Amino acid sequence: MKQRKLGSGGLQVSAIGLGCMGMSFAYGGGDDAESIRTMHRAVDLGVTFFDTAEVYGPYVNEELVGKALRSVRDKVRIATKFGFRILPHGQGLQRMAGVDSRPEHIREAVTGSLRRLGIETIDLLYQHRPDPSVPVEEVVGVMAELVREGKVRHLGLSEVSAATVRRAHAVHPIAAVQSEYSLWSRDPEQQVLPVCRELGIGFVPYSPLGRGFLTGALTSAEGLAQDDFRRTLPRFQDAAMRNNLVLVQQLRRLADGHGITLAQLALAWLLHQGEDIVPIPGARQLGHLEENCGAAEIQLGAADLAAIDAVFKEGKVHGARYAQGDFDLLEK
């Protein structure tokens, strides 16, 4: 697997990472034994970058990642996140009760993450979502203290505005910004990506396959588990899906022309957007993991990229990323 650098502080990771959220959270079901086999196979394939968060589960995903990667700790880089207030009772998303980046909570969260992961140092620590009640300068100041204490190596932010990136980076170097970015979610191209490149900050797209939609495997929300949160998302409602499936069919013809899968074409397109981009597609099964990793070897020319861009021109995708009121703290 080819390697890429995130930021200027020496964080080197595989060109494609593995997003572990879906193994424990949000998409229904989950098989820990299969997830562990998938993570082990990822290491065999050269994947060195694994992404989790305290809120995934909550907590259980960090435990799963820690259990799977303990024996190969020296070969991998583990990213996790803090920033949500988590209720003591309830299931999954019901336990998320707003944001919390108070300094004391940051320290509590990091202590818990280190314990659950079974590691001494977090390779990349993100603020999961901005907290409007705590200035980002104060948040990053506490994160920087954790770096000096040896509990964290590199710092990141998730779903923040370009202005917040600038303010944070002025306090301590930011290695990576994570946001949703894919063929059907291209907002970062407007402001955040240019600022990251100006400042030498890497970019980590989550949901690079459109929460599975860009694989072509989803044609209706009816096949999703009842607790799969995609059922609540505007883009996965019937009318929007019918319109968006037309785009996927057009993309499939391009993928077929290269003899590759839809997922591989979508990931290859992302990788061609810049050497500072490291997507983290999720995978709960070996076949999907191996398919995704194959995208790192695919070469696309200028004409290929133009044809792909033409399919997903601005305004063609139907439906918002989230329902109104959900995740209002995504900064613009």
Contact 97, 144 (CB under 8 A): no
Active-site residues, by number, are 56
Containing H/E element for 80?
strand 77-82
Rounded Cα–Cα distance for residues 24 and 67 (Å): 13
Confidence of residue 191 (pLDDT cuts 50, 70, 90): very high
pLDDT of residue 326: 53
pLDDT of residue 28: 63
Contact 32, 20 (CB under 8 A): no
Percent of the chain at pLDDT > 90 equals 82
Beta bridge partners of 67: none
Contact 274, 241 (CB under 8 A): no
Give 187: exposed, middle or buried? Use CB within 10 Å, 0-12, 13-18, 19+. Answer: middle
* Predicted TM-score (pTM) of this structure: 0.94
Q: Which two tokens stand for residue 305?
A: 């990229």
Contact 179, 159 (CB under 8 A): yes
Mean of the per-residue pLDDT values of the chain: 93
Rounded Cα–Cα distance for residues 151 and 173 (Å): 16
HEC letters along 82-96: ECEEECCCCCHHHHE
pLDDT of residue 329: 46
Mean pLDDT of 269-290: 96
Closest CA to 113 of 150, 65, 177, 50: 65
Mean pLDDT of 199-212: 96
Contact 78, 52 (CB under 8 A): yes
* Of the candidate ranges 11-15, 163-167, 255-259, 320-324, the one whose mean pLDDT is the lowest: 320-324
Task: Provide the 3-class DSSP secondary structure of residue 292.
Answer: helix
For the sheet with 77-82, list strands across it: 18-19, 49-51, 77-82, 122-127, 152-158, 176-180, 202-206
Rounded Cα–Cα distance for residues 135 and 116 (Å): 28
Rounded Cα–Cα distance for residues 214 and 263 (Å): 6
Say whether pLDDT at 96 is over 70: yes
Q: Which two tokens stand for residue 164?
A: 């917040």
* Of the candidate ranges 80-89, 124-133, 232-241, the one whose mean pLDDT is the lowest: 232-241
The DSSP 8-state label assigned to residue 22 in this structure reads: G
Strands 152-158 and 96-99: unpaired
Q: Is the dihedral angle over the CA atoms 285, 287, 292, 296 positive or is it negative?
A: positive
Confidence of residue 221 (pLDDT cuts 50, 70, 90): confident
The DSSP 8-state label assigned to residue 172 in this structure reads: S
Topology of the domain comprising 3-211+268-299: TIM Barrel (3.20.20)
Q: Is the dihedral angle over the CA atoms 224, 225, 226, 232 positive or is it negative?
A: negative
Rounded Cα–Cα distance for residues 214 and 208 (Å): 9
Helix 162-171 vs helix 192-199: angle between axes, to the nearest 10 degrees?
A: 20
Say whether pLDDT at 331 is over 70: no
pLDDT, tens only, 57-71: 999 999 999 999 999
Helix 286-294 vs helix 32-44: angle between axes, to the nearest 10 degrees?
A: 30
